[in-house]
Amino acid sequence: MALVFRAAVQFVGILLSLLGWVLSIITTFLPHWKNLNLDLNEMENWTVGLWQTCVTQEEVGMQCKDFDSFLALPAELRISRILMFLSNGLGFLGLLVSGFGLDCLRIGERQQDVKKQLLILGGILFWTAGVTALVPVSWVAHRTVQEFWDETIPEIVPRWEFGEALFIGWFAGFSLLLGGCLLNWAACGTQIPLASGHYAVAEMQTQCSYLENGTANPSV
pLDDT digits (tens, 9 = 90+) for 93-126: 999 999 888 877 666 556 678 888 999 999 999 9
Of residues 61 and 122, more confidently modeled: 122
Rg over CA atoms, the chain: 26
The share of the chain scoring above pLDDT 70, in percent, equals 80
- Rounded to whole angstroms, the Cα distance separating 211 from 195 reads 25
pLDDT of 56 > 50? The answer is yes
The pLDDT score that the predictor gives to residue 198 is 42
The top-scoring range by mean pLDDT among 150-159, 169-178, 199-208 is: 169-178
What's the DSSP call for residue 160? -
- Rounded to whole angstroms, the Cα distance separating 123 from 179 reads 7
pLDDT digits (tens, 9 = 90+) for 150-167: 888 877 778 899 999 999
Per-residue pLDDT, averaged over 186-209, amounts to 50
Whether 167 contacts 11, CB under 8 Å: no
Which of 10-19, 47-56, 175-184, 189-198 has the lowest average pLDDT?
189-198
- Closest by CA position to 203, among listed 186, 216, 214: 216
Whether 3 contacts 194, CB under 8 Å: no
Q: Indicate the SS3 state at residue 216.
A: coil
Q: Please, what are the domains in the chain?
A: 1-33+73-190 (1.20.140.150)
The pLDDT score that the predictor gives to residue 42 is 65
pLDDT of 205 > 60? The answer is no
Whether 90 contacts 129, CB under 8 Å: yes
- Closest by CA position to 137, among listed 54, 27, 16, 29: 27
- Rounded to whole angstroms, the Cα distance separating 211 from 138 reads 68
Q: Taking the model in full, what pTM does it have?
A: 0.80
pLDDT of 13 > 90? The answer is yes
Handedness of CA 76, 77, 79, 80 (dihedral sign): positive
Whether 20 contacts 181, CB under 8 Å: no
pLDDT of 215 > 70? The answer is no
The pLDDT score that the predictor gives to residue 101 is 83
Q: Distance of alpha carbon 81 from its chain centroid, rounded?
A: 16
